[in-house]
């Protein structure tokens, strides 16, 4: 009984820590946005775009590993989800840079 | 003696796929569909940065951040629901499921407030390229969220009766809800922050 309770407390703490990390990363966006402003109208920024995409994918991976319990899943699912995150990063950044090159 | 077992004992549990594998096929497929659309958006955006930035400046980043944190909180509570159900605490699990739905409703309310504001200011689906993407992405996400409420209904129905309870179904429902959450994490970054 005590073991179950200990385990439960540990689980609660871990989930809460994951939530705090995800929320903190979300708040970083406010800082990024503010520091990219020169007081005037917003300007295009490759650094902001790339970091926004990477931070979002870091969050996606944390959600998959922790909230979706992929961390306890068989290797196939762990590798597939990681591959997907890499695939998303390559597609999004790739399309952005191709778009910029074509412009 | 056994009561002093360390809390890290979970690492020795056998590895298994959370929920039904079919749900994971859906998650991975749907991620590809969304990724394709995101790619198209970024491609066009990169070519007309000034026009997109001008329209994007009408979005409220704080409102976007608030919505994201509300949805992340809903993901946290459904993750808790899975764990409490696994521990056999079905009352707590049902409470977590209702809490998840509550945060989902709060997110939806924020979205409606936001949409209303934009439409009243004259920014609609047809006003420009940015708002076309904005309304399309937020609406398609909302459809997924609405399906999420049905999924949570299934979850609560499952938990209500000992005859129906299945941990696999609980996990499958939670996996769907988390997917709605991480799609929003991406949509938020692409619509509100990217510049």
Q: Do B15 and A1 touch (CB under 8 A)?
A: no
Kindly report the length of chain B.
Answer: 195
ipTM of this complex? 0.92
SS3 call for B87: coil
Q: Which of A26, A52, A102 sits opposite B47 (nearest CB)?
A: A102
Residue A15 is nearest to which of B17, B50, B79, comparing CB atoms?
Answer: B79
- C-alpha span between B24 and B178 (Å, rounded): 11
Per-residue pLDDT 10s for chain B (195 aa) are 444 444 444 556 688 899 999 999 999 999 999 999 999 999 999 999 999 999 999 999 999 999 999 999 999 999 999 999 999 999 999 999 999 999 999 999 999 999 999 999 999 999 899 999 999 999 999 999 999 999 999 999 999 999 889 999 999 999 999 999 999 999 999 999 999
Question: Hey, which residues 57-116 in chain B have their CB within 8 Å of chain A?
Answer: 57, 61-62, 65, 68-69, 72-73, 75-76, 78-80, 82-83, 87
All residues of chain B having their beta carbon less than 8 Å from the beta carbon of residue A67 are: 75-76, 78-79, 174, 178, 181
- As a whole number of Å, the CA-based R_g of chain A is 18
How is residue B18 written in tokens?
């959370």
Q: Between chains, do A12 and B80 touch, taking CB under 8 Å as contact?
A: yes
Inter-chain CB proximity A73 and B16 less than 8 Å: yes
DSSP string, B131-159: HHHHHHHHHHHHHHHHHHHHHHHHHHHHH
Task: Give how far Cα A10 sits from Cα of A15, A71, B43, Å.
Answer: 9, 16, 44
pLDDT tens figures, A51-98: 999 999 999 999 999 999 999 999 999 999 999 999 999 999 999 999
Q: What's the pLDDT at B173? A: 97
For A33-68, b/e burial (b = at least 16 CB within 10 A) is beebeeeeeeebbeebbbbbbebbbbbbbbbbbbbb
Q: Quickly name the fold that domain B61-195 has.
A: 1.20.120
Spatial separation of the C-alpha atoms in residues B28 and B16, rounded to whole Å: 17
CB atoms within 10 A of CB A4: 12
Nearest Cα of chain A lies from the Cα of B66 at a distance, in angstroms, of: 9
Window 33-62 of B, Cβ < 8 Å to A: 35-36, 38-40, 42-50, 53-54, 56-57, 61-62
Q: How far is A36 from chain B (nearest CA, A)?
A: 9
How far, in Å, CA of B13 to CA of B4, rounded? Answer: 18
Contact A70 B18 (CB under 8 A): yes
For B133-167, the pLDDT digits (tens) are 999 999 999 999 999 999 999 999 999 999 889 99
Length of chain A: 103
Min Cα–Cα distance to chain A from B49, Å: 6
Give the Cα separation of B148 and B107 in Å (integer): 12
């Amino acid at each position: 009984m005590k073991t179950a309770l200990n385990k439960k407390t540990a689980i609660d703490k871990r989930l809460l820590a994951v939530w705090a990390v995800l929320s903190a990363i979300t708040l970083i966006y406010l800082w990024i946005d503010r520091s990219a402003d020169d007081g005037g109208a917003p300007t295009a920024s490759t650094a902001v775009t790339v970091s926004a995409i990477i931070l979002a994918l870091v969050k996606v991976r944390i959600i998959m590993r922790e909230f979706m319990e992929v961390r306890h899943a068989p290797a196939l699912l762990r590798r597939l989800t990681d591959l997907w995150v890499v695939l998303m990063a390559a597609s999004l950044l790739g399309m952005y840079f191709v778009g910029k090159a074509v412009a | 003696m056994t009561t002093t077992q360390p809390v890290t004992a979970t690492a020795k549990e056998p590895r298994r796929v959370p929920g039904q594998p079919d749900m994971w096929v859906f998650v991975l497929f749907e991620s590809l569909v969304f990724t394709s659309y995101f790619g198209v958006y970024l491609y066009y955006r990169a070519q007309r940065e000034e026009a997109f930035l001008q329209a994007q400046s009408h979005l409220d980043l704080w409102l976007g951040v608030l919505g994201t944190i509300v949805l992340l909180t809903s993901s946290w509570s459904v993750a808790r629901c899975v764990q409490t159900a696994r521990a056999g605490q079905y009352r707590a699990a049902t409470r977590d499921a209702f809490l998840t739905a509550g945060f989902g409703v709060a997110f939806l309310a924020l979205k409606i407030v936001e949409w209303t504001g934009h439409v009243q200011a004259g920014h609609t689906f047809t006003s420009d390229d940015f708002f076309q993407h904005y309304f399309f992405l937020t609406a398609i996400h909302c459809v997924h969220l609405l399906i999420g409420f049905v999924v949570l209904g299934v979850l609560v129905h499952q938990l209500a009766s000992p005859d129906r309870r299945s941990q696999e179904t609980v996990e499958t429902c939670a996996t769907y809800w988390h997917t709605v959450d991480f799609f929003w994490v991406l949509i938020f970054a692409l619509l509100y922050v990217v510049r």
